[in-house]
Chain A
Amino acid sequence: MAPETIEPTAPPLRAPSPPPTDRPLHTLPAPFTSSNLEVLTQGAEALVYKSVFLTPHTPCVVKYRPPKPYRHPVLDRRLTKARLLAEARVLVRCKRDGVDVPGVLGADWEGGWLVLEWVEGKTVRGVLDGWAERGAGEKEGILGLMERVGLAVGRLHEIGVCHGDLTTSNLMVRVPEKKAEVQEQNDELEGDIVLIDFGLASHSTQNLQDEDRAVDLYVLERAFAATHPKAEPLFKDVLSAYGESFKGARAVLKKLEDVRLRGRKRSMLG
């Protein structure tokens, strides 16, 4: 028979009490300190603010990479500088070669900030969440969106850029210009795909390996699978559009199969 009172042999553990949440928001370096900026999001690396550039009607984004207090200062400076420079360089390159990205309006790697063109719209992640909530219907609209994602990634790879962090949070859907005013919910699936967040990107003209491209696709595939169970089956439409997007795309899809297999093996190991 079980004893009347069960005494734990290990003392119960308490969760640490959550630290105060009114953290001091990072103060931006000059020339932004005094300006009135609106925090948009806090990504993993950066705080993203909305502001205006030159005229009060030209919105822009200030992407500020604050020092990370958890990181050793030497490592912190090295990473911030490398990523900011990578991002600025790749954005300029994409713009030049006709990939839809926000243009670079200003940068200061000592200060840790970049000023970028504003993209009016939502992230693909946000759009997919909305779509799933509305019941995951709208077949035509969603297929069109997946196709445009595939083509956009294909174009990026074609010019020799590897994104390095290709998730649904780093793809935006730009609100079609004329519709911006009368935007209805179901129009969310319309609009051009804009690629953002190039801090982990790399560029090379000759030896961008299919391997790197395939890893980009693999990362995106897992982002689909992990965040949007309902959107998971849609990824094949992204891939089929990608396969048609440039000359070497088929070879990349072939490589993707290897990368997947490797990934599956790895995460099964004990």
Chain B
Amino acid sequence: MIALGLEGSANKIGIGIISHAPSKPPVILANLRHTYNSPPGEGFLPKDTALHHRAWVVRLIKQAIRQARITIPDIDCICYTKGPGMGAPLQSVALAARTCALLWDKPLVGVNHCVGHIEMGRSITGAENPVVLYVSGGNTQVIAYSANRYRIFGETLDIAIGNCIDRFARTLMIPNDPFPGYNVEQLAKKGRHFVELPYAVKGMDASFSGILAAADVLAKGLDESLPEEKRLRTEEGELVTREDLCFSLQETIYAMLVEITERAMAHVGSKQVLVVGGVGSNERLQQMMGMMARDRGGSVFATDERFCIDNGIMIAHAGLLEFQTGVATKLEDSTCTQRFRTDEVYVGWRE
């Protein structure tokens, strides 16, 4: 069976085509994406993002079908992101999905974005029943599967980790292209001094807004136009750099993520971790997670940028899994929703 997947819950539009055959690994026929980037120091607005998606959706679908070397009759269902995400971009892509479904007379499947990330991660890495850390621009959740649901064990108490990183990057005028988090990571590699930031873990939950506030205050001390004595220094008296701040931010927030993940693993007795979502492509996070898992006699599974960052394939994949259990979304139900909990989805395709 072949599914076309459309994703556009945030600033990226992704179109993917996947094929499932019985007792064979899924085959990715096409995976295209285009990102709407705002200038450094700015975030993206829903209105402009929706415009971007509308401008790209037809082109990308055509190109994906060409690239997959299939024809429209080969497609069994059309999967789109139902939520969670930003309203306007979600709607613009759902509209495209509905149009295709009517035009080509295909069933629709509305997919939970978070479940898409999880299923794609499981499929690519072969991790069977891992604790899942889902870290992106909009989400920070520690998830484990039990009795047909992906249950949320821990989460952020305020803002998402990616949001924290992106806003920090904006303060330091770090470019958004390709991703703020990626650019922070590159700067962090050159950081040498560890500056202390608040560390806020409560059981399996974490909080990031205090850290962001503290980092923003520290960032003011980097200003080169400040008089020498006012500039931010380490305890040894050396000047603190942008690189040092990026390094310290990463060391602190990723340690928090590893800790809450480890607590969930200890609690459910699992030795596997799967990291999904855009922030999951961070190499330092993957490395730290690997050290933790090794100390527990387990392993970490992570994918690279192509599948960590929002994409259409994950929507096609999760949608097709659901479609194969006999579930489809009626046209009149093919709405989107900005809020859509991971544990609301009945996972009928797993034991």
Docked pose: A265 CA to B293 CA in angstroms: 31
B15 nearest CB across to chain A (Å): 12
Chain A, Cβ-Cβ closest to B158: A266
Q: Is B244 an interface residue (CB 8 A)?
A: no
- Contact A42:B266 (CB < 8 A) given known A19-B299, A219-B205: yes
Interface string of A114-157 (1 = CB under 8 A from B): 00000000000100000000000000000000000000000000
From B74, B139, B287, B298, contact of A270 by CB (8 A): B139
Q: Which secondary structure dominates where chain A touches chain B? A: loop
Assembled-state Cα–Cα distance A8/B24 (Å): 13
Closest residue of chain B to A212 (Cβ to Cβ) is B202
Give the bracket for the number of chain A residues in contact with chain B: 35 or more
| A10-B144 in contact (CB<8A) | no
- Find out whether the CB atom of A16 lies under 8 angstroms from the CB atom of B29: no
CB distance from B240 to the nearest CB of A (A): 14
B56 within 8 A of partner (CB): no
Which single member of B30, B126, B265, B340 contacts A44 (CB below 8 Å)?
Answer: B265
The 7 closest A-B pairs by CB, nearest first: A268-B339, A270-B84, A270-B85, A44-B263, A165-B203, A70-B288, A18-B299
C-alpha spacing A81/B308, complex, angstroms: 36
The answer to whether B113 has its CB under 8 Å from any CB of chain A is yes
Residues of A within 8 A of B (CB): 1-3, 6-10, 12-13, 15-16, 18-19, 21, 23, 41-45, 68-72, 74-75, 78-79, 125, 164-167, 169, 200, 215, 219, 222-223, 225-227, 229, 263-270
Once A69-B291, A167-B267 are accepted as A-B contacts, the answer to whether A42 and B203 lie under 8 Å apart by CB is no
Residue B232 interfacial (CB < 8 Å) = no
Partner among A8, A19, A72, A222 whose Cβ is within 8 Å of the Cβ of B290: A19
Q: Is the CB of B267 within 8 A of A270?
A: no
* A10 neighbours in B (Cβ, 8 Å): 28, 31, 306
- Give A268 to B117 CA distance when docked, in angstroms: 15
Looking at A9, A13, A265, A270, which has the most chain B CB atoms within 10 Å of its CB?
A: A270
Option from B28, B160, B299 in Cβ contact (under 8 Å) with A16: B299
Residues of B in contact (CB 8 Å), total 86
User: When chains A and B are docked, how far (Å) is the Cα of A44 from the Cα of B69?
Assistant: 49
Query: Which residues in B have their C-beta under 8 angstroms from that of A78?
Result: 196, 199
A265 near B339 with CB under 8 A, answer yes
Interface string of B180-199 (1 = CB under 8 A from A): 00000000000000101001
> Which listed segment binds A: B34-42, B147-155, B317-325?
B147-155
B27 A6 Cβ-Cβ under 8 A = yes
Residue of A nearest to B338 (CB): A270
Q: Which residue of A lies closest to B148 (CB)?
A: A229
> Chain B contacts of A15 at CB under 8 A?
124-127, 301
Whole-angstrom CA separation of A2 from B74 in the bound complex: 6
Residues of A within 8 A of B293 (CB): 19
- Decide: A225 near B199, CB < 8 A? Known: A13-B307, A71-B255: no
Q: Is the CB of A269 within 8 A of B267?
A: no
Which residues of chain B come closer than 8 Å to A23, judged between CB atoms? 294-295, 297
Query: Which of A166, A215, A264 is in CB contact (< 8 Å) with B341?
Result: A264
Q: Which residues of A contact B296 (CB under 8 A)?
A: 42
Residue in B73, B153, B303, B338 whose beta carbon sits within 8 Å of that of A13 in the complex: B303
A-B contact pairs, 14 of them (CB 8 A): A2-B2, A9-B68, A16-B125, A19-B299, A44-B267, A74-B194, A75-B199, A75-B252, A125-B267, A169-B267, A226-B144, A264-B341, A270-B83, A270-B338
Find B196's partner among A2, A74, A227 (CB 8 Å cutoff).
A74
Cβ contact of A267, chosen from B31, B68, B152, cutoff 8 A: B152
> Is B10 in contact with chain A by the CB < 8 A criterion?
yes
> Is residue B99 within 8 Å, beta carbon to beta carbon, of the partner chain?
no
Chain A residue nearest to B163 in the complex (CB): A269
Complex-state Cα separation, A16 to B121, whole angstroms: 13
Question: In the complex, A42 Cα to B265 Cα: how many Å?
Answer: 10
Q: Is the CB of A9 within 8 A of B299?
A: no
Residues of A within 8 A of B71 (CB): 1
Say yes or no: is B129 at the interface (Cβ < 8 Å to chain A). Answer: no
B92 within 8 A of A: no
Q: What's the nearest-Cβ distance from chain A to residue B120, in Å?
A: 10
Task: Give Cα A227–Cα B152 distance, bound, in whole angstroms.
Answer: 10
Q: What 0/1 pattern do residues 302 to 329 of B give for CB contact below 8 A with A? A: 1110110000000000000000000000
Say yes or no: A1-B267 contact (C-beta < 8 A), given A13-B125, A166-B203, A270-B9. Answer: no
